[in-house]
Structure 1
Amino acid sequence: MKKISILFLALATLVGFYSCEKSGTEVVLDPANITAPQLTSPADGSSLVFNKENKDSTIVFTWSPAQYGFNVAVDYYVQVDRQGNDFKSALPVGHVKSQDTLKISVNDLNNQILLLEDDPEVPNPLDVSFRVIAIINSQVDTAFSSAVKMNVSPFYIPIVYPQLYVPGSYQGWNPATADSIGSLNSDGSYEGYIYMNSATTPIQFKFTSARDWNHDNYGSAGPGKLTTENGLNNNLEVPESGYYKFNVDTQALTWSYLKTTWGLIGDATPGGWDSDTPMTYDADNHVWTVTLDLKVGEIKFRANGSWDLNYGSNNNDGKLQEGGSNIKVKVAGNYTVILNLDHTVYKYKLEKN
């Protein structure tokens, strides 16, 4: 069994509480004797119904504390996912330190539940699971509670996704008017597309957590790395003008970029599945467009003439997913096809002329 070393002199007096071995000042803690936290409220099998009338009410999560055999600061994170998904796509509900209670407004929890819906604009009652996890440090395994299963009925509100703003030399270094990228799962992972056009290259910029310079500002800590330490010489940069895809992780403090052009491909297009039909960027409306004749068949959107980055639609509902299903063209004709990557949820339109 894996054993984790913890330097803690006072542990030598607590042999009666758990199994350990002492060698000098080093004590070995057996993870099998750690007690995970357990959610006690809301109750397993219960239901929640949200609406605009109770959106300012408070939902309270409580749990029994994790036990390690000694007093230690514990970070608790409450998570939610669809039932049966084993928390593979867990979304954060909230975080507290060394407490056994988390309070969250109905409005904020409703927002997270909508992210789990097949169509957030037409929400249905959803079977979800909640759990709480306990973390003390990176050397000790995370302790997971059992899942509490519930049925939650959310109501539709426009989802407000966390944003990172991108002021830079391409737009006058003004956070108030800067484009932004969003966190689709509200988890510190941000993605988005920005058209940067400047006569001066390389183009320099920063990421900011608000539309000003008074909050978290992210600059360069080396290739692909970020820092929140302010400095005049740590601007991020891209080599030239273009339409860029940005990915940022504010927890790992990493970032990446990819310059893109876009095309349409598929057996409904003139080039079939062998070649792309190029699209043109409309800088005024922040969309890519192409007008062409389409046959009955299927299409997808590809970046840079490669399958490395492509979008389809799993539900053929105007919303795009990376690597999603082929988009069906059910009626032949002349179409204007619009690709909109300007918002956190990517969308497309097929407009028959």
Structure 2
Amino acid sequence: MKNIFKLLSMLLLPLLLVNACREDADRNWTSPEPSFKLYDTTLGSNVLYPTMESNPFILNWDDAVSGSGSYTVVLSSTADFKNKVELGKSDTNTLKTSIGALNKAMLKAGLNPYSSQTAFVRVERGTEVSNMVSFAVTTYPADGPMITNPAAGSTLVLDKNNPDAVATTIKWNDYTKYGVKVTYLVEIAGASGEVYFPLGTVENANSLAVSNVAMDQAVLKAGAVANVASDIKIRVTATSSSIGGTIVKVSDVVTFKVTPYQLESFLYVPGAYQGWNPETAVAIRSATTNGIYIGYINFTDANSEFKVNPARNWDNSYGSTGGNNITYNSGGNLVAPNTGYQKLTVDLNAMTYALTAYSWGIIGSASPGGWDSDTDMVFNSTTQKWEIASIALSVGEIKFRLNNDWGTNFGDDGNNGTLEAGAANIPITEAGNYKITFDEENLLWTKTKL
């Protein structure tokens, strides 16, 4: 009997050793015994945010007892390190990197932005590994939205017969799934333009449907030409807030082609102020051909008479039937009681017209009138902009002002050609003669030294 047990023991022992080795190998694969020490580290803040990107993040460890080659610092979202990413390599027992690199590695490892989660770190060299260090951390998104529609180089032809129908849906990928409020702004610009025009905003969504009319208005503002395929740039800006502050991320720009249609239409206003010549009359404009036309006319005399024509000829016209009412191809002349620039609004739906005093001027220490009086601008009905062909400016500041009053004024906080109501004075750093333009509709301005 003893011999039988001895024989069985001899037969089972190799199997037990093999199985023990296999279990040991499996254990080492998932959580090997450390062969050198990684020292605990602390973050300046367990909530990371973009202003910390350049801050240093340093790890130290003891040298491994054996082995050769570089150390590799790896990071995982789980303690078993089954899915690990490389944080960095080092030929010494120290790794110096940045919070920005740490944040990107943690995102790559599967930690989600805006939520506190545990990150696990260890050091490897060959078959040797350090102990594991873990810490709770809240990451922030490192990349901006990625536009998936329209595709770069694609084409879009707008349908003027269905202005309210959806022309296209702008789509992008981003981090709305992480439970934080994100506001997305979709903008477009001309191929060579730096000024972007808004298409719309959405919250916690990854798409924006844009109608034919909205897209048409935007691309025409951006410099596209009606009935011509024009290159248009589009971008998406994501804005969100966390404990660490406001985070703004901008997508890469995608360029595609859009063919707009001529949405706007015009009426013409011949009158005594310009010698009753339809060919040179001021044009008044309807931006969306909705029957309401607006323009600006400088009447040089009180009670100046005029008509409104659908074309630059006398074939047809609108006349007055008394008060502010108009009629087609009959009635008397319309009358502007006051002198100076008047805003003329013609409503072909209600068949009425209205006149309101309306003028833009430049005021400021750099202007000829200083801060005491405006230098009046002239409305160019061809470009639909207010302008001064030549004005002598000194070193100082200017602003744009409506009706010689501070109730409505515009400045430029960034001095970059975009205007905001009540914004900062616009600096003039070099004296000289300038041409100034003011686009009231798009709130843009230019100065050109002559």
What TM-score, normalized to structure 1? Answer: 0.49
The structure with higher relative contact order (CA 8 Å, sep 6+) is: 1
TM-score, length basis structure 2: 0.40
More helix by share: 2
